[in-house]
Structure 1
Amino acid sequence: AVVIAVVSAVVTAGRRPALRATATAWELVALSTPPHWLGIMLLTVFSFQLRIFPVAGAQSLSSLVLPAVTLALSVAGVLAQVLREGLEAALEQPFVVTARSRGLSQSAVRLRHAFRHAATPLLTLAGWLTGTLLGGTVVIETVFSRPGIGSLTLQAVTSRDLPVVLGVVLLSAFAVVLIFTVVDLLHLVIDPRLRTTEAAL
């Protein structure tokens, strides 16, 4: 989802209105499409008709492709919109004019300067969405017949298996804390202003 969002936002931010409108349209479609319906469509095309990927199960890495794409598309739509807004705001800042006056190409300005400023909200949102994916994939696991934490939690709650429920909750809490710790560290790497503030304190 992050890769799709970065490519879509970097290529279309501040570019021709038609290109930007096309990207915005697919993002809105991805956001408004129910993930289980998208999963069924992907299964119909790539598993039943083209027979490229397996229909169900978890026997190989190829069986991960369709579930991952199903989950990634809606998330990528949100991330791309947030990143594009940040990029377009950053491209209007005075430091972009300075970078261009030094002879940097448009791609270098976008990737080396504007992207670093626009990536902060992208990282925060990506971390939060990653945490929500831990238990929010029950429907996708059911569509693709994959064993996962979501279906395990649902079965444990239904059967009142308290040790399993507690284990899943503790594991999810640890994963969320770890994810946000990594996100905070990446903020320091990407945004030099935060390192300056930290050093001053």
Structure 2
Amino acid sequence: MLTFILKRMLLLVPVSLAVSIVIFMIVHLVPGDPIDHIVQIGSSPEQRAELIARYGLDKPILVQYVTWLGNVLSGDLGTAIILRQPVSALIVQNMPHSLTLGGLALLFSTVVGISTGALAAVFRDTWIDRGVMTAILFGSTLPSFWLGLLMILLFAVQLEWFPVSGARTWGSLVLPVLTIGIGGTALVGRVTRAAMLDVVRKDFVLMLHAKGLSPWAIQMHHILRHALLPVVTILSLRIGWILGGAVTIEFVFARPGLGSLLINSLSQRDYPVVQGCLLMLAIAVMLGTLLGDVVQAIMDPRVRERIA
């Protein structure tokens, strides 16, 4: 098992290198210049050139990448051009807000998604199944930012149940968590239902019925347990997706976090901050994939046998 984990971690090295190149190139290919946001009106070309040289923007892009990558490997993400603070400090300051929002949204989509998917599978081809799948299909087609705006209009403006924006109270988390979690609920629910219906056709299920086990015990203790393997894979991939999806939701609800920091930095072309935020989101996706592989190996004896 330890060998498997080490191999998977080694595979992340070339992937991380490729991701770093893509992030750096995309950020620098975006039109605009961060110097435009800090240069004073009436500044001379010499003063502008001095600012460009100070932040290393006058060097070839390959040299800039190698310098940035070397600093990242040493733990230095650089200094924000606009905010003039260490990028690592800005990320540490905003990361807890994003992790809280993403973690609660993942928990919501996991619990509700598995429950609705299992309910639809148990009562397949009935009005309950059709109703659940219709709700799941409807939830998966709604754009998250549009759903967030509707929730603000209904629950914050009209009913005044929750705050419109900010992060001062726990109540301010309800609407953003629901906005992000509903889309994930639809995906997890569909995968759970399909996996359970596939497991029902297995020979061991017929044997369990022949032994006289109750249908409910078979569904919940055996079929659902085996059906969770693909669900775990989906959930591991959603770790990074939720943090990435929180980018727009944090901006819609005016919440602090990596999303708001990233969007504000993009508008200002603050290269170091944008690169640092995108790098953190990419790392979250890779770690989520690694975690999913490890959990799958723990849950499935066949995977452990292949590893051994």
TM-score under structure 1 length normalisation: 0.89
Conserved 8 A contact 1:79-1:125: yes
Alignment partner, residue 13 of structure 1: 121
Q: Separation in 2 of the partners of 1:64 and 1:55?
A: 10
Whole-angstrom CA distance in 2 between matches of 1:70 and 1:51: 17
Identity %: 34
| Bigger relative CO (Cα 8 Å, ≥ 6 apart) | 2
Partners of 1:27 and 1:81 within 8 A in 2 = yes
User: How big is the alpha-carbon RMSD for the aligned residues of Structure 1 and Structure 2?
Assistant: 1.8
Q: 1:166 aligns with which of 256, 275, 280?
A: 275
Q: 1:99 aligns with which of 188, 195, 208?
A: 208
The farther-off stretch of 107-116 and 88-97 is: 107-116
Bigger radius of gyration, 1 or 2?
2
Q: Distance in 2 between matches of 1:146 and 1:189?
A: 37
**Aligned equivalents of 1:114, 1:194: Cα separation in 2:** 18
Report the alpha carbon displacement of residue 113 of structure 1 after superposing the two structures with TM. 1.7
Alpha-carbon contact 2:251-2:259 (below 8 Å) kept? no
Identify if the C-alpha distance between structure 1 residues 86 and 27 changes in structure 2 by more than 3 Å, giving closer, same or farther.
same
Show CA shifts across 1:145-193 (max 9, x none): 1122122112222222222122213322322222122211211232222
Q: C-alpha separation between the residues in 2 aligned to 1:142 and 1:28?
A: 26
Distance 2:251 2:306 in 1: 47
- The 5 A counterparts of 1:180-195 are 180-195=289-304
Q: Tell me, in whole angstroms, the C-alpha distance in 2 between the residues paired with 1:8 and 1:79.
A: 9
Selected match of 1:112 from 203, 221, 231: 221
Cα offset, 1:14, TM superposition: 4.1
Corresponding residue number in structure 1 for 2:172: 63
Bigger shift: residues 70-79 or 162-171? 162-171
Assess if the C-alpha contact under 8 Å between 2:120 and 2:133 holds in 1.
no
Listed as ranges, the gaps of 5+ residues in structure 2 are 1-108
Structure 1 CA distance for aligned equivalents of residues 278 and 251 of structure 2: 20
**Is the contact made by 2:180 and 2:245 (CA closer than 8 Å) also made in structure 1?**
no
The one-letter amino acid of 1:52's match is W
Please give the alpha-carbon distance, in whole angstroms, between the structure 2 residues aligned to 1:124 and 1:37. 28
The answer to whether residue 257 in structure 2 is matched with residue 175 in structure 1 is no
| Superposition pairs of residues 136-147 of structure 1, within 5 angstroms | 136-147=245-256
Please say which of residues 87-96 and 113-122 is displaced more in the overlay: 113-122
Q: 3-state SS of the aligned residue for 1:58?
A: coil
Give the SS at the match of 1:83: helix
Structure 1 unmatched ranges of 5 or more: none
Alignment pair present for 1:35 and 2:144: yes
Question: Which amino acid counterpart does residue 10 of structure 1 have in structure 2?
Answer: A
Partner of 2:156: 47
* Matched positions, count: 199
**Residue number in structure 2 paired with 1:84:** 193
CA offset digits 1:72-123 (Å, max 9, x no partner):
1112112211110110110121111122233332232223221232222212
